[in-house]
Amino acid sequence: MTDDRLYQTDDGSEPFRFDERVARVFPDMLRRSIPGYAASIEAIGSLATRYVRAGSNCYDLGCSLGAATLAMRQGIREPGCRIVAVDAAPAMTRRCAEIMAEDDRLYGRETAVDVVEDDIRNIDFVNASMVVLNYTLQFVDASDRDALIERIHAGLNEGGVLVLSEKVVDENSLMEKLLVDLHHEHKRRENYSALEIARKRAALENVLVPETVAAHYARLHNAGFSNAAVWLRFYNFVSIIAIR
C-alpha cells in the first residue's frame, strides 16, 4: 500500500479528482482520513450475508477500488447473484477490475462482478437486494440526490437494504466546530501535517458537499424508506442503514 503524501506537494488550489495519483494512494488515504471506515466495510459484508437474496443484483455506487464490492462478495451466501460496481473515474475502475480479477484468481468466487465506468446517475437498478453508497452521495450534485435515492428505492426488492455512508455537518455550529477539530486531530495522529490537512480541505471545497443527518433522513423518508437508522457515527462521519 502506497502512502498518501499528495498534499505535501500539491497546494490544494486544484479541485480534488479521482485520478491516477489518487488511485495509487487511495487505500492509505481512506484508512487515515475516515475514522470508522474499516467498520463500515465490515458491516457491509455482514449485511450482504443477511439481506442479499438468491438470483438478485447488488450495486456498489462510487466503487473506487472496490472495498465495498469485495466485502459484499465475501459476505454473499446465496447463489446466482451479481454485483455491479460503478465509478466514473477511469483510474478507479481500471484498478478495481484488476483487484476483482485477482480475487477471482485467488478464491474463485461464485458471485460475478461487473465493473462499470459510468456516472452513477445513469445506472438502472433492477432486481436489487443491496445497494451501497459508501461516501459517494456527498460528491453528487445536490440537485440530483433526491432523484438518485428515489430510483434506488424503486429498484430495490421488498426487504432490500441501502447502506449510505457520508461525511455530515452538525446543525449545531458549536458542535460542528468541535467535530471538525476532532477529525483534524485524528488526521494529525495519522501523521498528516497541518499543511496537508489544510491543502486537502481546500481541494475538496465545493467538490465534497456534506449535509446534515436530518437532511439524509428526510430524503430517505421521501423516497419511500420507512425504516432507516444511523448504525455508526464517528465524529462527522456516519453510516445509515435503510430497509425497503
**List of domains in the chain:** 37-169+210-243 (3.40.50.150)
CA 117 to mean position of chain CA atoms: 16
- H or E element that contains 68: helix 67-75
Q: What is the predicted pLDDT for the residue at 91? A: 96
**DSSP conformational letter for 211:** B
Taking every pair of Cα atoms in the chain, the longest distance, rounded to a whole number of angstroms, is 51
Q: pLDDT (tens digit, 9 = 90+) per residue, 116-141?
A: 999 999 999 999 999 999 999 999 99
C-beta separation of 120 from 84 below 8 A? no
Antiparallel, parallel or unpaired: β 57-61 and 128-134: parallel
Q: What is the predicted pLDDT for the residue at 1? A: 66
Antiparallel, parallel or unpaired: β 237-243 and 227-234: antiparallel
Distance CA 67, CA 27 (A): 9
Q: What is the predicted pLDDT for the residue at 4? A: 86
3-state DSSP of 170-182: CCCHHHHHHHHHH
Query: Which three cell numbers mark 2?
Result: 502506497
Distance CA 42, CA 56 (A): 21
- Which residue ranges of the chain lie beneath pLDDT 70? 1
Q: What is the predicted pLDDT for the residue at 66? A: 96
Q: What is the predicted pLDDT for the residue at 64? A: 96
pTM reported for the whole predicted model: 0.95
Q: What is the predicted pLDDT for the residue at 142? A: 96
- Map grid coordinates 439481506 to a residue: 51
C-beta separation of 3 from 25 below 8 A? yes
